[in-house]
Amino acid sequence: MNAERPNGRGATDDVADLARRAGQLAGWAARTGFALGRKLPGVETAERSVRQVERQLLTELRRRLDEVDDPYHAALTAASAMHRPAAVEATVTLVPARDNHAEPLRAAMAELLNHSIGFGRERAREYFYAIILRQLTPDEARILSALSDGSPFPAVDVVERTGLGGNGRVVLRNASTVGKAAGVSLPDQVPGYVTRLIGLGLVDLDEEVPSLETQYEILLTDETVREAEKHVRRAKFVRRTIHVSRLGAQFWQACDPSLG
């Protein structure tokens, strides 16, 4: 799958180069405190340029990663052939469908099974992290970076209070101040970002931390929270905290651009 280019470089080399460039850019922004200097003349324009380059690098990086490792991409490529011979005795043979082309979904599963045979522990971990990385948006990467030192951030759910004082339907889940701390581009999407990061196992949801009382009060004035409050007659705020999970810490250690 690592096709050679005319200059002798393969797709894997290009991925590594793009990853280094993305890491250098993110590392520079973190070191210079880019998100904290927005009031300086010209910084806002410069930040937009950095964000644009960052998005382009991440998009291209994901495309190259897909070409190198995505089993479905490999299956679609293989499906164009009439037959696919087994490379080694241990690999899974792809059975052609009725039209003499390998079915992409079945072929993709065969690719994964083949990977499971040849992967060692470190290669399997690298592949797992690459799959996670492909699913992250730039804003989610910023949130994970803000959480990476282990600090907890407040989170609240906005729920409808029932007549007996219990909790009814949830109108907003996982609103948090971590988005502003991370300098995300879409602050109104922070609840969704946090929910996705929890779903990926990178972030844990925990009980309320009383020492964060001031931050909870700030969070309750957040525009997204206030808007959700308008959709219920009697709102109740369920307080929690979020922090990086064990998997999230391991993933960040492997991907942290400042360590590259």
Domain CATH for 191:
3.30.110.190
CA atoms within 13 A on the CB side of 90: 8
Query: Does 86 reside within a domain?
Result: no
**Lowest-pLDDT range of 17-21, 29-33, 198-202, 243-247:** 29-33
Write down the pLDDT at residue 185.
96
Of 124 and 83, which is predicted with more confidence? 124
Structure confidence at residue 233 as a pLDDT band (50, 70, 90): confident
Write down the pLDDT at residue 34.
43
User: What is the C-alpha separation between 238 and 155, in angstroms, rounded?
Assistant: 8
Of 141 and 90, which is predicted with more confidence? 141
pLDDT at residue 71 is higher than 80: no
Query: Does 98 reside within a domain?
Result: no
User: What is the C-alpha separation between 247 and 84, in angstroms, rounded?
Assistant: 37
Of the candidates 25, 24, 47, 60, the residue with the CA atom closest to the CA atom of residue 183: 47
Instruction: Report the 10 Å Cβ neighbour count for 166.
Output: 10
pLDDT digits (tens, 9 = 90+) for 168-213: 789 999 999 999 999 999 999 999 999 999 999 999 999 999 999 9
> What are 46's two structure tokens?
């410069």
Query: Does 106 reside within a domain?
Result: no
Query: Does 26 reside within a domain?
Result: no
Write down the pLDDT at residue 46.
57
What is the dihedral angle through the alpha carbons of 114, 117, 119, 120, rounded to the nearest 10 degrees? 180
Q: What is the pTM of this model?
A: 0.66
Query: Does 235 reside within a domain?
Result: yes
Domain count, the chain: 1
Domain that includes residue 141, residue range: 133-255
Query: Does 243 reside within a domain?
Result: yes
Query: Does 53 reside within a domain?
Result: no
User: What is the C-alpha separation between 68 and 66, in angstroms, rounded?
Assistant: 5
Going from the C-alpha of 43 to that of each of 2, 37, 224, the distances in angstroms are 40, 7, 26
Query: Does 180 reside within a domain?
Result: yes
